[in-house]
Amino acid sequence: MNLFRNFKSVTKTCYGRGSFGKLDEILAPQRAANKGFMVFVVDDWFADKADFKKRIPVHEGDELFFISAKDEPKTSQIDALRDDVLGRKGLPAGIIGIGGGTMMDIAKAASLMFTNEGSSVQYQGLNLIKKPGIWHCAIPTISGTGAEVSMTAVLTGPVKKLGLKCDWTVCDQIVLDPDLIATVPQDQWFYTGMDTYIHSVEAITGTKKNTFAEAYSEKALEMCREVYLRRDRKDPKSDELLMVASYMGGLSLTYSEVGVCHALSYGLGKVLDIHHCIANCIAFDKLEDVYGEYVQEFKGMVKHNNVHIPQGLAKDWSEETIDAMAEVAYNLPHMWDHAFGPEWEKVLDRERIKGWYRRM
């Protein structure tokens, strides 16, 4: 392994059932910064959940936004949120994202854009951000993406679907409360959880695999097996396992890389707006030639949990659509390098990528 990264971790982690109830206390010392108010970005699924709304520690002067997670975060959306809040109230003390990967990434990206001038489009990539953002906190209410621990906030821009990736993207605080994921609809619960399963598989089945990645991956895989093959969804321990598996699966990537499934998934996301987690499932289901027994195991989990993975999609895709997705996927060399080694161009061309899409 020759992969020297110098990775920034989440500064503070509050874990446990009921830990969401600690949020007011956690925010208190942060409120002295800047103009002294907090911004909450919350999945609008909670907009009519009165019991949950009451528990969000909104103080006078704070800003609370309920945002739809129907679309994944866009550069224009982040810029507009930042301009609106800065224009009306000035610089917030902090921002808290409550929801899935979308809400957490919105909070992470907005945190950076509050202090970096211009459009977020110009910062899509690695280490392009110039200044640290404001204090930011992620609170997952659905588990699997690992957004709570990752150093990227994935945004879809006019040209690229690419993250704002730097040390300052990493959260200052996360709150992991397994009670919050108990009510997630079954399909979402499955697709999102599979993101961490696939992170873990990809992290340890490529040229950049190493002991650090394996330690987190193997534990996350074991926890996924508990959740999706052995336990009942209603077993409260399942939520605890899944929440920690998401965190571990995210960490498995810190010294490794995602692979073929994520590359194909980015094509599905960018060209057809298919959400990351379901796109992963659609792709992984057809990757037996690459991920062998893991794909078999995945199919077993699908069956055991009685969920549906969309099939036969490719028959409705034009050649142009398949070309466009293959182009997006092909242009992710770090993923191919990990999956097939530095000579990946010898074993992979656009035709092979298109072949995978045609199976979906």
Among residues 105 and 195, whose Cβ is nearest to Fe ion?
195
Among residues 79 and 257, whose Cβ is nearest to Fe ion?
257
Smallest distance from Fe ion to CB 263, Å: 11
Rounded-to-integer distance, Cα 47 and Cα 43, Å: 8
Among residues 111 and 280, whose Cβ is nearest to Fe ion?
280
* Residue closest to Fe ion, measured at CB: 195
Among residues 72 and 79, whose Cβ is nearest to Fe ion?
72
Q: Which of 153, 187, 157, 158 lies closest to 171 in space, CA to CA? A: 153
Smallest distance from Fe ion to CB 44, Å: 23
Smallest distance from Fe ion to CB 18, Å: 28
Smallest distance from Fe ion to CB 344, Å: 20
Furthest-apart CA pair in the chain: how many Å?
Answer: 60
What is the separation of C-alpha 125 from the centre of its chain, rounded to a whole number of angstroms?
16
Smallest distance from Fe ion to CB 353, Å: 18
117 contact partners, CB below 8 Å, separation of at least 6: none
Rounded-to-integer distance, Cα 358 and Cα 262, Å: 16
Among residues 116 and 246, whose Cβ is nearest to Fe ion?
246
Among residues 20 and 191, whose Cβ is nearest to Fe ion?
191
141, 177 contact by CB (below 8 A): no
176, 247 contact by CB (below 8 A): yes
Instruction: Please tell me whether residue 12 adopts helix, strand or coil conformation.
Output: strand
Smallest distance from Fe ion to CB 195, Å: 4
Among residues 39 and 154, whose Cβ is nearest to Fe ion?
154
What is the separation of C-alpha 99 from the centre of its chain, rounded to a whole number of angstroms?
11
Three-state SS across 18-52?
Answer: CHHHHHHHHHHHHHHCCCCCEEEEEEHHHCCCHHH
Write the Ramachandran bin of 248: left for phi over 0, alpha for psi from -120 to 50, otherwise beta. alpha
Smallest distance from Fe ion to CB 312, Å: 24
Interface with Fe ion (CB under 5 A)? 195
* Strand duo 38-43 + 94-99: pairing: parallel
- Residues pairing with 166 in the sheet: none
Write the DSSP string, 120-156.
GGGG-EES---S---EEEEEESS-SS-TTT-SEEEEE
Smallest distance from Fe ion to CB 359, Å: 20
Rounded-to-integer distance, Cα 207 and Cα 209, Å: 6
Among residues 85 and 264, whose Cβ is nearest to Fe ion?
264
Smallest distance from Fe ion to CB 200, Å: 11
Among residues 57 and 146, whose Cβ is nearest to Fe ion?
146
89, 74 contact by CB (below 8 A): no
